Structure 1
């Protein structure tokens, strides 16, 4: 009965809040999944645990090592493995920092979304302590989506599938790729037709030449 009531409450809340605009969302709607996580997950944690968890997420945002064991310990009593809670906190901190909302506005808006006052205060303390670093991180990565950290050529092998004959295989490592809402270092293997690789190489050479010419022109202007 309680579970059914909770589900109904979420649906009603979702319909209500989709009509509202939030400054921490860039004066836009708050995603339904964030609203659901605030009501069903973040509010269930103690304010102290939420502050600790948010602090760990903030550290990860600015480039620190992801403390998975600590997060699992905090979220052990949740119905899932804590990934959705981390994804929600990540969204809240990133967007509040990106849109430069004040602590008072942030507190008011997340309370409107269902987070208790004490929990909202915990989130605000974490935001205040990390907002400068988060903004700097966002600026540094403004043009980086799923940052490519390395590329490795994989030599062909006798076990190579028939449908990849004539292809070139590469291993790509991606830094902080978002997987289920969480940043993870991932590895992908790609099979690319040799002709496409050669065309890509020619295009990259042209780009490098253009960038070098631009760099030289800028240097000449500086020297004048």
Structure 2
């Protein structure tokens, strides 16, 4: 994965800081969308409203839709929230 990001960053003439910022932004958007159970169609629309070109929004949305079940499961397992249990009679 690192090699792919490095190659794309070099092709786009990003600095290392710019590359890290782009990866962090994508990670935050995807993680926040999955955590809020946003549908791929809504994510696509919101990304375009934020000014992302339609092709880029579609590419990100396609990857999001493909990996949403795994991502949601990971976020659920990594959450600090406790699952509701039956009330105790204490």
TM-score by length of 1: 0.33
Structure number with the higher helix fraction is 2
Q: How many residues align?
A: 78
Gap regions ≥5 residues in structure 2: 81-90
- Structure with the bigger RCO (C-alpha within 8 Å, sep 6+) is 2
Structure number with the higher strand fraction is 1
- The match for 1:126 among 44, 60, 63 is 63
Gap regions ≥5 residues in structure 1: 1-66, 144-224
CA RMSD of aligned residues (A): 1.5
Provide the residue aligned with 1:101 in structure 2: 38
For the pair shown, which has the larger CA radius of gyration, 1 or 2? 1
Does 1:78 find its partner at 2:19?
no
Cα distance in structure 1, aligned partners of 2:23 and 2:78: 20
Q: Give the 4+ runs in structure 1 shifted more than 3 A.
A: none
- The match for 1:110 among 42, 47, 51 is 47
Cα distance in structure 1, aligned partners of 2:66 and 2:47: 18
TM-score by length of 2: 0.79
